[in-house]
Amino acid sequence: MSGLELALSGFGLMLVGIFLRIPIGIAMFAAGFLGTWVVLGRPSATLSQMKTLTYDTFSSYSLTIVPLFLLMGQFATKSGMSSALFNAASDWLGHRKGGVAMAAVGACAGFGAVCGSSLATASTMGHVALPEMRKRGYSDALSTGVLAAGGTLGILIPPSIILVIYAILTEQNIVKMFIGALIPGILAALGYMLTVAIYVRVKPGSGPVAERKPIKARFRTLIKVWPVVLIFVLVMGGIAADWNWFKPGVQALFTPTEGAAVGAVATGLYGIATGGLDWDGFKASILETAQSSAMIFLIIFGAQVFNSFLAFTQAPQAMAEWVSVQGFAPMTVLIAMLLCYLIFGCVMDSLSMILLTIPIFFPIIESLDFGMGAEQTAIWFGILALIVVEVGLITPPVGMNLFIINQVGRDIPISQTYRGVLPFVASDLVRVVVLVAFPGLTLWLVGVMF
């Protein structure tokens, strides 16, 4: 059996495990372990390789950023930042048609800037915004659809756990990946707001106008969100800005991992100062961070074992050579990969998709000529992959964010959520086309800052 046939057999075995509802980390580990055993031919050699791989995976300094950003998100959730963001956005936009739905998008974007998780953003903002939108007469379809879509901003607007994992897998600069995601993230938020504006005009009554707030009241609520802005500027500015004017010879105040630690501490202090984070909330944040980190690390380890098996089979290199020999246009290959992500999004979560596909897709992307440097290609492809993974989170029938929002509004039929989210899926697809056609939208800010 050839290396490619072995790799395909292992991939099939893993998918069978996933469909049998085996946790995806364990399914990837089992398929990778058995495949490596077949390739090496000796159980002792396989077990020895597992020992080395385990240490190499969990001793990585880069991975320490993951629990720190998760803790930052937990503190942000418990401290009441979501309510402050939504109230401020609602006061400024609520008097427009669909304004409260637009405010929900803006609040999701703001919360995503201190959270880094799509599911956490969707769940937190769902509890804050969904009751308010329904109270003001918004349709169930629009209310749940906009919140499911807005939740995806949590993994696109930096800091993003998925971008950190992608940067580690492809050996890219984490800061550059964060900067590359800023403009696409802003475009996503603006695109969702435009979609709301169109939606309420096509379906009048789905997003009624709220009372216009006095200008003084608006500024009072706006003042309450300054800690969110401060924390975002502190974290992103500290790891990305050129501080030579302040301290000659220093490009940044701290590394991404240090920035995550600073962000977690700052968010925790904000929660304590406002009274939103008490001792019980602190303990719950630590426990939930530990549980989420354990789940993510299990998936990462399973993916590392499976990817080690793929490396033994030489399948990624063989596929890259095959694509090169076929003479496919680079854009054709890229579009095919993005379509694969859309399909995988129907059955897998975003982290698993990235961990599983990047070791296969990235060597192929590296072998193609897109008319830009290797690092630019890696950043551009990473952002595109992230966006399409994000679309998978809201694609019916099994998008993860749809079920999160449906759990918040238990009396709302899931069919309403499906109908409400489809315009936002269309908005995402339009954005993907624009970013594929104009790579400069992703790369311009990176070029300016570096």
Q: What is the pLDDT of residues 258-314, one digit of tens each?
A: 888 998 999 999 889 888 888 998 999 999 889 888 888 888 888 888 888 888 887
The pLDDT value recorded for residue 241 is 64
Burial of residue 163, with CB atoms counted within 10 A of its CB: 0-12 exposed, 13-18 middle, 19 or more buried: buried
Residues ≥6 apart with Cβ < 8 Å to 331: 436
pLDDT confidence band for 144 (50 / 70 / 90) = very high
- Whether the CB-CB separation of 153 and 185 falls below 8 Å is answered with yes
pLDDT confidence band for 426 (50 / 70 / 90) = very high
The pLDDT value recorded for residue 105 is 93
The whole-angstrom separation of Cα 394 and Cα 189 is 15
Per-residue pLDDT tens for 307-338?
Answer: 888 888 877 777 777 777 777 888 998 998 89
Q: State the average pLDDT over residues 94-122.
A: 86
pLDDT confidence band for 134 (50 / 70 / 90) = confident
The pLDDT value recorded for residue 248 is 46
- Whether the CB-CB separation of 159 and 177 falls below 8 Å is answered with no
For residue 171, give Cα distances in angstroms to 57, 176, 235, 243. 14, 12, 21, 25
Per-residue H/E/C for the chain: CCHHHHHHHHHHHHHHHHHCCCCHHHHHHHHHHHHHHHHHCCHHHHHHHHHHHHHHHHCCHHHHHHHHHHHHHHHHHHCCHHHHHHHHHHHHHCCCCCHHHHHHHHHHHHHHCCCCCHHHHHHHHHHHHHHHHHHCCCCHHHHHHHHHHHHCHHHHCCCCHHHHHHHHHHCCCHHHHHHHHHHHHHHHHHHHHHHHHHHHHHCCCCCCCCCCCCHHHHHHHHHCCHHHHHHHHHHHHHHHCCCCCCCCCCCCCCCHHHHHHHHHHHHHHHHHHHCCCCHHHHHHHHHHHHHHHHHHHHHHHHHHHHHHHHHHHCHHHHHHHHHHHHCCCHHHHHHHHHHHHHHHCCCCCHHHHHHHHHHHHHHHHHHCCCCCCHHHHHHHHHHHHHHHHHHHCCCCCCCHHHHHHHHHCCCCCHHHHHHHHHHHHHHHHHHHHHHHHCCHHHHHHHHHHC
The pLDDT value recorded for residue 121 is 85
- Whether the CB-CB separation of 177 and 382 falls below 8 Å is answered with yes
The pLDDT value recorded for residue 147 is 92
Average pLDDT value for the chain: 84
Cβ count within 10 A of residue 126: 26
Q: Say whether pLDDT at 245 is over 60.
A: no
pLDDT confidence band for 251 (50 / 70 / 90) = low
The pLDDT value recorded for residue 347 is 66
pLDDT confidence band for 183 (50 / 70 / 90) = very high
Q: Which domain holds residue 415?
A: 3-449
Residues ≥6 apart with Cβ < 8 Å to 429: 391
Q: State the average pLDDT over residues 167-174.
A: 87
Q: Is the pLDDT higher at 147 or at 80?
A: 147
Q: Say whether pLDDT at 52 is over 50.
A: yes
Number of domains in the chain: 1
